[in-house]
Structure formats: C-alpha cells, structure tokens
C-alpha cells in the first residue's frame, strides 16, 4: 500500500468521492448533494481558478475521505482576509480512528487566513477544540410565538391545545411584548435580486462590524437568488431612495408546525431603524403565511436587540462555532457582539 497523503481534490476524483459519499450517507442524501454541488462549490464567486477548496486523504491511490469548505471574503478586524466555512467531512469506515480527520482539518485551516467551523457535530466540535480552535459559540438562537394555539397543540395535542393556546399567548406577550413600528420614513419593499447598490451598502456598513462575510451583490445573488434547494423572500429598506439594509426569510411546514425563518438581516450596526423596519416587515409576511413560530440565529448584539424589541426570546442554541485565525486579530475575539453571523451563513440552511 502506498503512502498516506492529504491534498487538494482533483477533478478526476469526483466519481470515486460520490461513490464514497453514498457508502457513508446513502443514495438519497448523495442525490441531493450532487444537485447542489455545482452551485455550492463551482458557482461560488469566491471560488478561485484552482477549483473547489476540498481536501482529500488518499492511501495507495484510494480515496479514504474528504473535507470540503465554502470560501468567502471575510471582514476581520478592519480588513478583508481569505477565509472559508468548513462543511462536509466524511471518511471510509475502515479509515476512522487513524487521525485523518485532524489531518484534513489542518490542511484546510492552513490554506486560509481565518477558518470558520459553524454548526458542528459533537465529534467535530471536540476535534476543533482539540486542534486549538477558539470556541466562540454557540451562536445565539431566538424565537417568537406567533400562533399560540398551534404551538400549544404541537406540544400537548389538539385536544388540550385549544385551551392552553390563549394562556400561552397571554404569557408570551406579557414576557416578550412586541414594540410598535417606528415612524422613520423608511420604506421596505420586496425585491427579486441584488444590484450594484448592495456593493455600496457593504462598503459603507462593514466597518460597524468586527467580523462579517462580505455581503456584496455577487455573494448575495449566488447565496439567495441562485440557491437550488431553497426559495427565499428578499426585502430591502430604503429612505429617500438610499439603500439601508436587506432581509432574507422563508417559511415552511415542519413536523406539523408552520415555521418562519429570519435567515439574514443586514444593515449598519448603528442603524436600528432600518433593522427594525426589516424585522417588522418579515413578521408581517409571517402573519399572512400563518406562521406559528418565528426563528432566527444572530451573533450581533444589534440584531439581538432588534429581535428582542419585536418580541423574540432567547432559546437553546445547537449552533456551535469555532474559529482559527492565522492573521492579527486584535480586538476581534474580545467583542463577539460585533460579529454578524446568522442562519444564512455557511451552509446551515440546507
């Protein structure tokens, strides 16, 4: 058997890797993965001419496993750096327990200036911490009960839900009241895409954050308009024609309950009025869709304050987050409230 190597994925590896993926995860997940593969790895505007940032472990010519990442441009402590989100890792059953996961993780993180691990499995979370990544999670989670009877029926059954719902609604509204909309002259409208004005918004707003993935028009079009497995509602906020921010949302039926996801809300951190108008507009759309519970993840203190003002409450978060930085990071880790990380980041909403 030949030597064990970890190197960048080559185009001729595709068939063998998908066969391995099917052996590990099954045919259904492999088919779904293949459908989104081109979008996720080839169409990403941050993907270089060298191709997808995927690392493969081989021994004697046989592929033993891979680690795939999503490259992004990251605003980090006042400058843009090369970064990527770590995503898909899998190994052949016979290759486990040999330290290959650690070698794949290291090959990935040595390639970028800031490596980002979000939504980690328990095993990956333990390995990230063992490899001296900074634990900055979990990313806070927030929820808002919008249809108390539906939520109560889901918890205690339809027979008791009718009686328990009004009580739940009164308690929720007393503990987490929704403040009224502000009269700020901001117009929120539905849009179908992102134009060059979003490049200007990014350049203007990025300095209010210590950490945020570059949200320019190219990234947003790729992430939310051309995504093959999700359909998003897009809204923008303007005052006197000036673009102030945007919101991305969707709603779905999940285990008998209509859920509404606030996937992203972005504006300058200090622009509380734009953020409030966007959240309010999304909630209005959720009411029209008869959403029972609205949900959001948000690391930014400004976004958390905006959600709380609109009646959201914190909940238990499963979204662990670890980071490794190989560039100067003065003041970045000390203030995670100035990090903009949401459900739309990485591939969490897949």
16 and 82 inside one domain: yes
* Residue 214: predicted pLDDT: 98
Residue 337 lies in a domain: no
Point out the least confidently predicted range of 31-35, 122-126, 291-295: 31-35
Q: Helix, strand, or coil here: 75?
A: strand
Residues 125 and 265 in one domain: no
Q: For residue 177, what is the domain's CATH number?
A: 3.40.630.30
pLDDT at 179: 95
H or E stretch covering 260 = strand 257-267
Say if CB 315 and CB 282 are below 8 A apart: no
Long-range contacts of 174-183 (CB under 8 A, 24+ apart): 175/313, 176/144, 176/308, 176/311, 176/312, 176/313, 177/311, 178/144, 178/283, 178/309, 178/310, 178/311, 179/309, 179/310, 179/311, 181/276, 181/277, 181/280, 182/273, 182/276, 182/277
Q: Do the domain assignments include residue 332?
A: no
Tell me, yes or no, whether 104 and 162 share the same domain.
Answer: no
Query: What span, in angstroms and rounded, lies between the C-alpha atoms of 310 and 155?
Result: 24
Structure tokens at 138: 């979990």
Q: Regarding beta strands 257-267 and 293-297, do their DSSP bridges make them parallel or antiparallel, or are they unpaired?
A: parallel
Helix or strand run (H / E) with residue 293: strand 293-297
pLDDT score recorded for residue 13: 72
User: Cβ distance 236 to 245 under 8 Å?
Assistant: yes
- Residue 328, in any domain of the structure: no
At 131 the three-state DSSP class reads coil
pLDDT for position 4: 83
- Percent share of the chain, pLDDT over 70: 94
Helix, strand, coil share of the chain (percent; to 5):
35, 30, 30
Domain co-membership, 187 together with 96: no
* 244 and 301 share one domain: yes
**Residues 36 and 125 grouped into a single domain:** yes
Instruction: Please say if the pLDDT value at position 22 is more than 80.
Output: no
Domain co-membership, 65 together with 211:
no
In a domain, 290, yes or no: yes
Handedness of CA 256, 229, 192, 249 (dihedral sign): positive
pLDDT at 19: 73
Among the candidates 85, 108, 135, a domain finishes at 135
Measure the CA–CA gap between 85 and 118, rounded to whole angstroms: 7
Q: Whole-number mean pLDDT of the chain?
A: 91
Predicted confidence at residue 158, as pLDDT, reads: 79
Range of the domain at 231: 141-316
Domain count, the chain: 2
Q: Which of 101, 135, 169 represents a domain boundary (last residue)?
A: 135
Q: Is the pTM of this model over 0.95?
A: no
In this prediction, residue 107 has a pLDDT band, given cuts at 50, 70 and 90, of: very high
């Amino acid at each position: 058997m030949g030597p064990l190597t970890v190197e960048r994925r080559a185009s001729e590896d595709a068939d063998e890797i998908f066969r391995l993926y099917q052996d590990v995860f099954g045919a259904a997940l492999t088919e779904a993965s293949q459908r989104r593969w081109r979008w996720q790895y080839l169409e990403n505007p941050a993907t270089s001419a060298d191709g997808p940032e995927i690392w493969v472990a081989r021994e004697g010519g046989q592929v033993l496993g891979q680690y795939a990442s999503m490259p992004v441009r990251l605003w980090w402590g006042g400058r843009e750096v090369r970064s990527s989100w770590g995503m898909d890792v899998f190994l052949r059953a016979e290759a486990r327990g040999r330290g290959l996961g650690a070698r794949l993780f290291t090959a990935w993180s040595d390639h970028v200036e800031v490596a980002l691990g979000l939504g980690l499995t328990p095993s990956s979370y333990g390995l990230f911490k063992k490899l001296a990544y900074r634990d900055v999670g979990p990313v806070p989670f927030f929820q808002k009960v919008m249809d108390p009877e539906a939520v109560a029926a889901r918890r205690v059954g339809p027979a008791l839900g009718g009686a328990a719902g009004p009580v739940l609604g009164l308690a929720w509204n007393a503990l987490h009241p929704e403040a009224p909309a502000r009269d700020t002259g901001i117009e929120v409208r539905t849009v179908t895409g992102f134009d060059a004005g979003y490049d200007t918004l990014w350049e203007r707003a990025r300095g209010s954050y210590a950490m945020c993935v570059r949200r320019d028009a190219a990234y947003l079009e790729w992430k939310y308009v051309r995504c093959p497995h999700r359909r998003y509602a897009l809204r923008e906020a303007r005052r006197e024609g000036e673009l102030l921010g945007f919101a991305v949302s969707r709603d779905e039926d999940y285990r008998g309950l209509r859920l509404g996801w606030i996937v992203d809300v972005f504006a300058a951190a200090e622009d509380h009025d734009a953020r409030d108008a966007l959240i309010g507009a999304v909630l209005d759309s959720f009411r029209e869709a008869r959403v029972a519970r609205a949900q959001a993840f948000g690391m930014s203190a400004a976004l958390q304050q905006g959600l709380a003002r609109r009646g959201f409450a914190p909940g238990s978060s499963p979204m662990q987050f670890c980071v490794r930085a190989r560039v100067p990071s003065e003041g970045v880790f000390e203030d995670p409230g100035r990090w903009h990380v949401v459900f739309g980041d990485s591939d969490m909403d897949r």
